[in-house]
Amino acid sequence: MNKHNGPKFQTATTLKHEILAGTYHSFIFETKNPLIYKPGQYISVRVTEDRINAYSIAGNDEPNKFMVLVDISPGGPGSKFFEALKVGEKISYLGPFGVFTLKENDNAKELIFLGTGSGCSPLRCILDAALKEKNIQKPLTLYFGLRNPGDIFWQDYFKKLSQEHPNFKFKLTLSRPDESWQGPTGHITDLVNSDFSNMNGYSAYLCGNKEMIDEANNILALKGVAKEKIYFEKF
């Protein structure tokens, strides 16, 4: 076998680089050919000569464009690469990859989504497709966890989505709020724990830090969510 027959890097041009809030940066890229992906999948971006990092696709408005959300707070090679990325510059990527996608045939009666920080990126993509393209009518609830008011992004987007789709609910909670915050406080797992008693027949999609994923798995199992209906991606 020819050793050069591996995956081939594609290129995309940076159309927009926007700081949404705090350390969260949003990028829109344009490709020569449409990026065909399933909502929830990710691409692997070359951030240095010898390093490739995975970033979820947050969505697209046009076939030849796609959005990526990056939290630069870790400060590693990927953070530095994206923080310095300018409009007009190109990225090299592989993909899409991943199986963290909507499971339409698992017969769930209700779906809940738990995302912390940039972990909300694939969830936005999945929810967009579920509500706008697939017209799913069963109840969907997104629990979005951030640290403080200065971190808040996409709140207006999800509020608008909930107004347009009555079966979708959006709950934002802050773990380190200040006195100006009037919404829920604590971790999203605390909110789920208090909002539900029996979750038999539900499916759950989790994306975020390892601690949240582990805690959510335990709570959801105790509430009756079948292990095989808890889907997650650790960031």
Residue ranges per structural domain of the chain: 10-97, 110-234
Taking the whole predicted model, whether its pTM rises above 0.85 is answered as yes
Nearest to 145 by CA among 167, 168, 124, 176: 176
Could you give the CA distance from residue 90 to residue 102 in angstroms, rounded to a whole number?
30
Q: For domain 10-97, say whether CATH 2.40.30.10 is its number.
A: yes
pLDDT band with cut points at 50, 70 and 90 for residue 234: confident
User: What residues contact 131, with CB distance under 8 A and at least 6 apart?
Assistant: 140, 161, 164, 165, 167, 168
The pLDDT of residue 142: 98
For residue 211, how many C-alpha atoms fall within 13 Å in the half-sphere facing its CB? 6
* 3 state SS of 228: helix
Q: What CATH number is given for 110-234 in this structure?
A: 3.40.50.80
10-97 and 110-234 share one CATH topology? no
pLDDT band with cut points at 50, 70 and 90 for residue 6: low
The pLDDT of residue 1: 41
119 and 90 Cβ atoms separated by less than 8 Å: no
